[in-house]
Amino acid sequence: MEANLSAGPQEVAGRLAFREEETAFLVVREEDPDDWLARFDKGGGFPAREWAENMVRVFNRRLVRRPPGPSTPPGTRPSSYHRGGVRHQHGRGDHAGDNGGR
């Protein structure tokens, strides 16, 4: 069975873990260790354990830091938004993008 890659990336639910097999380290979902997401083959001097551990650590850390909802509610503009990415300071003699060394 082939993955449907044209559908875009799929969200992974829950935390990740890794498990060791004879020839590889597998990154798996904690809830279903038989469902592996990434495989790092042992051998040839490749640090497979370190890569698997790092992938799990980074993913799980991002889960903890992820806000429960959007950081800005739909339809609102953050207070730091400046159209075109350049803040213009009128009436102070400043040039666009130049804040006088401040």
Q: What is the 3-state secondary structure (H, E, C) of 18-53?
A: EEECCCEEEEEECCEEEEEEEEEECCCCCCHHHHHH
Contacts of 39 (CB under 8 A, 6+ apart): 24, 25, 26, 27
pLDDT digits (tens, 9 = 90+) for 34-60: 989 999 999 999 999 999 999 999 999
pLDDT tens for each residue of the chain, 102 residues long: 455 555 656 678 889 999 999 999 999 999 999 989 999 999 999 999 999 999 999 999 988 886 666 666 677 766 665 565 555 455 544 444 444 454
DSSP 65: H
Structural tokens at position 40: 């790092």
- pLDDT value of position 89: 52
Distance CA 24, CA 76 (A): 48
Domain ranges of the chain: 14-67
